[in-house]
Structure 1
């Protein structure tokens, strides 16, 4: 599910730039940033904190969409 993804992609599959996980603008991020397994911190890289979504994603800096999946290849099981 991409929870341990540590790459440097900084935009969604729609091309929207990612909001930093430590920023609350324009979206108010309420995800707990203390779990090291989630790889969250002062960056705008795609992540999947808690493994709750299908693959890595990020909040968008664009007002027309709140968040989006990142266009990363998934490994087959």
Structure 2
């Protein structure tokens, strides 16, 4: 858990094509030509789902590792 550090996140350069950097436990940094976004990938009802947690640098202030538990808590409450 928590494989990406701040230096790796800042060094992730946008390319022509989008790519993902794994942080662990379903959390990814999606790097697009237009910017960087945190994404949480999880399964819901047996199908893969993605939840965008916000763009950088705004979302960097709140550690995304703490925010990735949100979908599991919402699903349990239903």
TM-score (norm 2): 0.29
The structure with more helix, counted as a fraction of residues = 2
Which is greater in Rg?
A: 2
The structure with more strand, counted as a fraction of residues = 2
